[in-house]
Amino acid sequence: MTVFPPAVPTAQDTGADLVELYLRHIGSGRAVMGRVMGGMAEVRSEGCWIHTDDGRRFLDFGGYGVFLLGHRHPAVVEAVHRQIDTHPLASRVFLEPVAARAARALAAHTPPGLDYIHFVNSGAEATEAALKLARAHGRRTIVTTRKGFHGKTLGALSVTANATYQTPFQPLLPDTVQVAFGDPAELEAVLASRRDRACVIVEPVQGEAGVRIPEPGYLRRVAALCREHGALLVVDEIQTGMGRLGTWWGVDTEDVRPDVLLVGKGLSGGVVPVAAMAATEQAYAPFSRDPYLHTSTFGASPIACAAALATVETMEREDTVARAAALGRRVLAGVRAVCAPYLGGLVTEVRGRGLLIGIEFAVERTVGELLLELIARDVLVNHSLNANRVLRLTPPAVVEDVALETFFRTLADALHITAARMAV
Ligand SMILES: Cc1ncc(COP(=O)(O)O)c(C=O)c1O
């Protein structure tokens, strides 16, 4: 294996110069955001840590759900290095062994019958593939849930139910319908009037909507309604899947077998962007028959598939899903304990499943204030794109005990300061 030196910042990578480059070449909004966050440049990472150019080290409890294995897991890094040294991108003329092996490895963990895997480069592309597959089956009405998040490419945006992101790009896909999340009654009415013509896309737990967990039985009822009315069921597990909820998939707890399952984020192993659409033989048939119906030059590249394969194998070897479940219980209990003094005041609810945890506040401004207080104390967390009052924690399954204690202590300090400021 070739050993590469860790990235080190160069003079022109740092501080004010970098903000200037962002201002001139990437965008003023992102530049301003970077400056508000402290203006640091992130230059290196490993496990649950991110290092910045000024020599600081941040505990990463954010990462938008990508880093269940942490940053640069050595097994994934080694597999990717090996692939780079042999054959990173394919001719697309011959068969690609690493794509086939990655598909077999992932299919060994998808719900029974979802054996066909279509690799893509991002979560939104997985959603696009599912929407096109639905159309290929004549399912032209797409039913999505309010506050649901499925990506921001034009098709995916049509089912990402957030007016802020949708409005500037209207008109989007026609014949999309939004129904309440967690309440199947509205869905039933929509499906009943569109027999054999609809496709339902839903998350098992809404991540960007602020970790909204439906009542037990909800997903099973959605699946039953889809069966009853001949609708195609797409479950978006881009954020919830690959062990994030302490099970391989969110559908596992409900014993639901969708027609299509979307995978992303954690599939990357924290190393190479890769996502996938898994489908049953019947659902996948149009893509299976015609390999040119839906293609992309870089889709299923050997380098991405090497990362996906190594990720699945590492999760099997390290029992990552069970670790995520156990750690998730500790994180949720710890966060609840830290937030307890503020419950009913600053904090309205702490909720979570596995390593997807949300802290909901009474006032929107608290999220930003607390996020900055945590950054000042070397801890990273995320806001939620479709829920302004919810701070989201998506820590890796590889957090050591010392780091966990540091997190609880830091959260307590940051909350204390934020509460005092909000009271003024
Ligand atoms: C549930 C869900 N679907 C789709 C996406 C889009 O994925 P990407 O940002 O990789 O395009 C996300 C991203 O946050 C997501 O959480």
319-329: pLDDT as tens digits: 999 999 999 99
Which pLDDT score, from 0 to 100, does residue 6 have? 47
Q: Which residues pair with residue 51 across a beta bridge?
A: 44, 57
Question: Which atom, in ligand 1's list, is nearest to the CA of 206?
Answer: 1
Residue 110: C-alpha distances to residues 144, 194, 423 (Å): 22, 29, 48
| CA 116–ligand 1 middle distance (angstroms) | 21
- Torsions phi, psi of 379, nearest 5? -130, 135
Q: How large is the average pLDDT for residues 85-93? A: 96
Atom 13 (ligand 1): residue with closest C-alpha?
151
Give the Cα separation of 272 and 411 in Å (integer): 30
Residue 1 has pLDDT above 90, yes or no: no
Which H helix or E strand runs over 313? helix 302-318
Question: Which atom, in ligand 1's list, is nearest to the CA of 122?
Answer: 10
CA dihedral 207, 209, 215, 220 (to 10 degrees): -60
Which pLDDT score, from 0 to 100, does residue 16 have? 73
Ligand 1 site: residues with CB under 6 angstroms?
A: 64, 122-124, 127, 149-151, 203, 207-208, 236, 238-239, 264
| CA 253–ligand 1 middle distance (angstroms) | 21
Residue 311 has pLDDT above 70, yes or no: yes
Q: How large is the average pLDDT for residues 235-243? A: 98
Q: How large is the average pLDDT for residues 221-232? A: 98
pTM metric for this prediction: 0.96
Question: Which atom, in ligand 1's list, is nearest to the CA of 151?
Answer: 6
Residue position matching structure tokens 């540091």: 406
| CA 125–ligand 1 middle distance (angstroms) | 9
Residue 252 has pLDDT above 90, yes or no: yes
Residue position matching structure tokens 């889809």: 226
Which pLDDT score, from 0 to 100, does residue 15 have? 66
On whether the CB atoms of residues 185 and 168 are closer than 8 A, the answer is no
| CA 123–ligand 1 middle distance (angstroms) | 5
Residue 400 has pLDDT above 70, yes or no: yes
- Listed in sequence order, the DSSP H helices in 319-393 are 320-339, 365-376
Question: Which atom, in ligand 1's list, is nearest to the CA of 236?
Answer: 1
Residue position matching structure tokens 């966060």: 335
Which domains, and CATH codes, for the chain? 61-72+320-423 (3.90.1150.10), 74-318 (3.40.640.10)
Q: What is the pLDDT confidence band of residue 14, given thresholds at 50, 70 and 90?
A: low
Atom 6 (ligand 1): residue with closest C-alpha?
151
Please state, for a pLDDT cut of 90, what percent of the chain lies above it.
95
Q: How large is the average pLDDT for residues 267-293? A: 97
List, for residues 172-186, the tens digit of each pLDDT value: 999 999 999 999 999
